[in-house]
Structure 1
Amino acid sequence: MENSKKPYYITVANGEISQFSTVSPWDYKIEATDDEVIKLRQYFDQVYSSDIKGFFRAHTPYLQYHYDRENDAIDDTNKLIYKMIYELGDEEAKEHIRTQGLISRIEEQE
């Protein structure tokens, strides 16, 4: 894998990672190596997988609502995603994450 950092544009809601800012709307700009992008992609894939499991759990009437490991897994993975975006992001990304209070919540959980 190549170790030089390249710009990427991230859309958190749908887990999109693009090298082109004009292809679709994006939330955050980061500078990342290929390995870092692969790791971020894995986090997005984990959220998707947990979301699907949560969908099926929500439609199983005999399971109690508070038995919600899937949502806990999504929350934990989202913290990793935002932490990684904060570490790799440009100043605008960092400022947005700070003003939303996301990084303080992530650091409290560590």
Structure 2
Amino acid sequence: MEKKTYYVNIASQEISQIPFGNNASYTIQATDEQVFLLREKFNELHEDDFGTFVRSHIPFVQYHQDLENDEYDNDLKDVFQMLHQLATPETRQAMEESGIGIEKNQ
């Protein structure tokens, strides 16, 4: 399949073929299927985020003992790994220089 250039912003969970505003935090080269999988990961993050919001209103549950936060953290790591794999060389280098590379021992 043909790869196209996409611009990704994790904060807004935006994936676009058109660079606009702050959506170009990460530039990737991906097929339609890979973009679909990335979108699915963003959807999981959104669901996890809601779970962490609900959990935050339960004061006796510690962060380090909270399944919702663990799920969010794991899905966020998956997004960064996916971005690292699909990144343009410049984006991959910037990620690695910032310490956002792939974690070896998860």
TM-score of the superposition, structure 2-length normalised?
0.89
Q: Which residue of 2 aligns with 1:107?
A: 104
Q: Which residue of 2 aligns with 1:64?
A: 61
Q: Is the 8 A contact 1:85 1:93 kept in 2?
A: no
Structure 1: tracts of 5 or more residues without a match: none
Q: Which secondary structure does the structure 2 equivalent of 1:64 belong to?
A: coil
Look up the match of 1:95: 93
Q: 1:24 maps to which residue?
A: 21
User: Which residue does the alignment assign to 1:81?
Assistant: 79
Percent identity, aligned pairs only, is 34
Once residues 54 and 73 of structure 2 are traced to their aligned partners in structure 1, the CA distance between those partners, rounded to angstroms, is 18
Aligned residues: 104
SS in 2 for 1:103: coil
RMSD, matched Cα: 1.4
Secondary structure, counterpart of 1:102 in structure 2: coil
Deviation sequence 1:28-67 (CA, Å, 0-9, x none): 1101000000000011111110010110111124x42243
**Structure 2: which 5+ runs fail to align?**
none
Amino acid corresponding to residue 5 of structure 2 in structure 1: P
Amino acid at match of 1:108: N
* Letter in structure 1 aligned against 2:4: K
